[in-house]
Each structure stands twice: as C-alpha cells, then as structure tokens.
Amino acid sequence: MDRLTLISQIRKKRSFLCVGLDTDPARIPGHLRKSDDPVFEFNKAVIEATRDHCVAYKPNIAFYEAMGPKGWHTLEKTLALIPDDIFTIADAKRGDIGNSSKKYAETFFQTFDFDAVTLSPYMGEDSIRPFLEFEGKWAILLALTSNPGAEDFQSAGDEPLYRRVLEVSSRWGHDGNTMYVVGATRPEAFTAVRQVVPGHFLLVPGVGAQGGDFDRLCDAGLNKDTGLLVNASRSILYASSGTDFAEKAGEQAAAMARQMAGRIS
C-alpha cells in the first residue's frame, strides 16, 4: 500500500487505529480452545468485529513463531482474512547483515505479502536497504520505544541515540517507504521527533494497556496527513475474556476510532 492510499483510508474511515494481533493462546476464551486452530478462530472474530474501525493490523510475529510450523500457518491464514484496503504490519523487529536482511524482506514482503515490517536499525543502512528496495512496501524503524529499557540507550545523554537514528536513517529512504516507532509513553518526545521527521508516519504503541496519553501525543505528533498509526493490542483483544470477546473488542475499537475522528483534519 502506498502513502496516498494509506492517507485516503485514514480520511475515509476517520481513524488512524492499528489493531495489534498479539494473540496469546493462554488468554483465548475457553469456548474456542477445542477448535483445531484457536488462535486463528480468535483472530477471525476480532478482525470481523474491528475492521470497520481500524486502518491497520499488526500481528506480533513472536506469538506465531512460538507455536512452531502451525503458528506460521495460522499467521498465513490470518493475513488472508484482512481486507485489501487495510494496511498490514509484520511486527518482527528484524535487523541483520545484508544477505540475511534480503531473506527477511522476501519472507515478509513476498512469502506473506505484508505492507510493512518493523526493523531494528542498530546494524546500519546495509541492514535496512533490502527492505527499501521493494516497491510499495514500508520499513518501520525502531526509534524511541515504549518499554522502560528504552532509557538504557535510546533516550540517554544530551544527544540521544533515537535522534541520531532519525537524522541518519531518514536519508536512506523517504516518507513514502519509511516509518518510525515512537512510544506513546513518551509524549514529551514527539515534538523533538517531528523536528527531525515532520512528514513521516509514526507507528505509536503504548496507548491503552500501557497508559500512553492520547491527546498529548496527538498535539505534538499529528501532521497535515495525520502521520500517526496508533496501535492498541491488549486493550482491544482482551476487552472481555468471555463469549462476548469479539463484541467487546469491536466496542473498544469503535470508541478509539471516535476519539481519533475528532483529531483528523
């Protein structure tokens, strides 16, 4: 999906919600566990309940890898359920030397046909370049993440590493094939981020279960094209642990979309 199509979908749906499909088999309602593929059945119900309220889905690849070969098949089936007009993100956080990155890019852009993949830029440009060579695909680079350990390296010092990541990597691609992960738990950083990458989209985890401040991140992070994909996972997936889990997931997604509609110009 190209940039103009993504922006069009945001304006059409009046939403910039990304639903994270971080499906934990241990948290799937009991009535689904007797099925042949409980994770798939859970994902199917959540997608059907939320697809009118979001513009992106983001499966966390770790939850599928942990199930072995069956997990990869579940991921493939889940991806096939997502409508073509919804942006898809492989939350894989890959980052390796060029030959390995080329194969990772083929995995997520050809074998699975995701629109985007999350990447760690620590090994530099040659580890990211193979992902940028796919037309219509996106590299989403970790810049300032929402976890407490981000302070160890990313935001430490007078010249924080995340700012260096933004300044250097923004020259590798452009705002039509590169995004950045910036956590909602650090709303004070969005002003600084926008000084470096005013036009890029930002993938924003940390709203919902992690308690990120939606209004503060919008005040500093929105740009003329919206420029945000705000991710919510647990707060939507596990809005209920009963047979009404999909209904409650849909209600939660709809509530977030209504909040977002008021911030879209």
Residue of 83, 110, 106, 111 whose CA lies nearest to 96: 106
3-state secondary structure of 9: helix
- Residues 6+ away with beta carbon under 8 Å from 91: 20, 22, 58, 59, 60, 61, 117, 118
CA dihedral 205, 45, 82, 90 (to 10 degrees): 40
In the structure encoding, which two tokens stand for residue 96, read together?
A: 């390796």
Give the type of residue at 95. G
In the structure encoding, which two tokens stand for residue 121, read together?
A: 């830029």
Among residues 93, 103, 137, 248, which one is catalytic? 93
93 catalytic residue (yes or no):
yes
Residue of 3, 55, 47, 49 whose CA lies nearest to 23: 47
- Residues 6+ away with beta carbon under 8 Å from 173: 128, 132, 139
* Cα-Cα end-to-end distance for the chain: 22
Residues noted as catalytic: 93
